[in-house]
Amino acid sequence: MNQVTDGDQYKARSTVGPDGVTTIVWEDRRHAGDGFGVYARRIDASGKPLGDQFRVDTATAGQQEFPLIGSDALGNVLIAWKEGQFSTKGLVQYYQR
């Protein structure tokens, strides 16, 4: 469901809310500055896109990768990913609601 098909997209994951809305998340190398970025798009129960794809992570430096997604019974969506650059604390994990 990504709108841009050139470049590399990887590791698509999805979740379906109680209203049938599906949210899909993936890694996208083409639009991420110097590494991968995390993008998502929402689709209604009939398969119609609900708006454009959007960037989930806000950092453009380094590798934003390995996205995971989940939702609760109310349809709230949580997306998590790792930054592939090591810090003094190891791999950095991020979450976005």
**66-94 pLDDT tens trace:** 899 999 999 999 998 887 665 555 556 66
> Could you give the 3-state DSSP secondary structure of residue 52?
coil
Query: For the chain, what is the domain count?
Result: 1
pTM above 0.85, yes or no: no
Residue 4 lies in a domain: no
CA-angle at 41, arms to 40 and 44, nearest 5°: 150
Residue 28 lies in a domain: yes
Residue 2 lies in a domain: no
- State the pLDDT confidence band at 15, using cuts at 50, 70 and 90: very high
Higher-confidence residue of 13 and 89: namely 13
Given a cut of 90, whether residue 64 has pLDDT beyond it is no
pLDDT-wise least confident of 10-14, 21-25, 84-88: 84-88
Given a cut of 90, whether residue 13 has pLDDT beyond it is yes
Given a cut of 60, whether residue 6 has pLDDT beyond it is yes
Residue 3 lies in a domain: no
What is the domain range of residue 24?
Answer: 9-96
Q: What is the rounded CA–CA span in Å between residue 79 and residue 69? A: 4
